[in-house]
Every structure is written in structure tokens, then in C-alpha cells.
Amino acid sequence: MTLDLAGRRCLITGGTRGLGRALAVVLARQGARVALTYSRSTSDAEQARAAVTAVGEAPLLFQGSVADGKHADAVVREVVAQWQGLDVLVHCAGIHQVLPIALLDESDWDQMMDVHVKGAYLFARAALRPMIRARAGSILFVGAFSSERIVDAPVHYAAAKSALRGLTESLAREVGRYQIAVNLLAPGLMDTGLGAMLPGYRLDEYKTMCPTGRLARAEEIAEFAAFLVSPANSFMAGAKVAVDGAL
């Protein structure tokens, strides 16, 4: 299947590490232009720049908090100014914290919701302005297997990822009339992000539960994400797609 991503203008939040970086490389390799946001690490940003430039056009990089509405608006305005439009938004920004609820501070809960849910809303709102004008676009939110599986996941993480399901379904219905697709990708535990933080015994438990007996590789999830935002995926909207090894 040809994805036909040449010239596709893509914005990835949290795009300088983990799944976000892997997706940026996949998209750039297939001819897309990518803009990446990041919150703190300039080292990660430079590594992502090098990885993307090695296979395609150099990325645009923007530093700031996804929970800052002014930042979201400014990023989208700059992307549109440089590329005369925006075709794809992937909200991949995320944080990971492994704590039982008794030890969660209110600030921990708020930060988890800000990055995963508020950030998704703010960047989607900003991206929809040029997409609606163009009557075309694709928005992909990155969820998690823990939002609908009975697994031992941090409650604030699972709650934040579950909220993205409702956002996906309602937003897809609202903007479908403009030929804009909104979907949710729910990968299984990967070899990056939360999967890199859990202790060994928790990873062993997961591998025992998962029929494939392994973690997902960020690169293989990125390949599927690229399909979801490509023209080849022409009629899927409001869907949650689990890629979790039959967990």
C-alpha cells in the first residue's frame, strides 16, 4: 500500500523522543514535512533533528508547554506561515509517573491531565482553524492500552488516557462535516515511555499477560500511526485502534 505522504505537513507534539520521534522519522522518510514540539530537553530536540534530517527535510522545532494555549496557537500559526497549511496533527506529548493513588499529590493529577488532555484540546483547537479552512485534515490522539484494560496502571495516567477516547469520538462528529478525521491510537506497552520506567517484575507480568510475550517497538507503532494519518486511511473517523499484541 502506498501512503502518499510526500509534502504532507505534519505537527507532532512531544515529537523529540519515544514514539513521537519514531513517528517523525517514519513520516519524514516517506516525504512528509514535520514540525515537533518539546517541553524541556534541548538534547532530545537536537537528536530528533538529526534523526529526521538524516532521512528527509529538516524539522521545525518548538519548545514550550502543550498546556499553554498561547504556545499552541503560536506553533500552529508559525507552521501555517512557513508551509501555507497543516494537514496532520498528532498529539503524542505525554508524561509518565508510577505512583499509587495514596501518594498522588493534587499537582500530580493536574499535570497528568494538563499534558494528556488539555494539551490535546489546545492543539486540536489551534490546528482545526487551518484544517477547517482547507476542508481537510487528520488528527490523531495517542492513547494507551490501560484506558480500557484491567491492568495495574497508575490511576491518573489511565484516567487521562481514557478521557482522550471521549474527546476523539465527540470531536470526530463535530468536524467530520469538514472532511477532517479524528482518531485515537492505543498502543500496548512499548519499549519507551512508561515501558522504560516500570520495574522488571511489572514488565514480566505484562509479557505474561500479552500473548505475543513482548513489548511493542516504538518503530512498529509509528509505522501504523503513519498509515492512520495518511490519505490511504480515507474513511476511518472517531475510532479507537488498539495495537497491543492481543492483550
Summary mean pLDDT of the chain: 94
Q: Is 90 helix (H, G, I), strand (E, B) or coil?
A: strand
pTM above 0.85, yes or no: yes
What integer pLDDT is reported at residue 197 of this predicted model? 78
9-243 CATH pick, 3.40.50.720, 3.40.640.10, 1.25.50.10, 3.20.20.140 = 3.40.50.720
Residue 203 has pLDDT above 90, yes or no: no
Which tens digit of pLDDT belongs to each residue from 24-54? 999 999 999 999 999 999 999 999 999 999 9
- Identify the band that residue 151 occupies on the pLDDT scale cut at 50, 70 and 90: low
pLDDT of 221 reads: 97
Non-local (6+) Cβ contacts of 102 within 8 A are none
39 to each of 91, 191, 200, how far by Cα in Å? Answer: 13, 21, 28
- If pLDDT is split at 50, 70 and 90, which confidence band does 194 have? confident
Q: Residues with Cβ < 8 Å from 133, sequence gap 6 or more?
A: none
Which residues, including other chains, have CB under 8 Å from residue 240's CB and lie 6 or more apart?
Answer: 143, 165, 168, 183, 184, 186
* Cell (9 digits) for 110: 493536574
pLDDT confidence of residue 205: 86
> Is pLDDT above 60 for 157?
yes
Tell me: the pLDDT tens digits for 47-68?
999 999 999 999 999 999 999 9
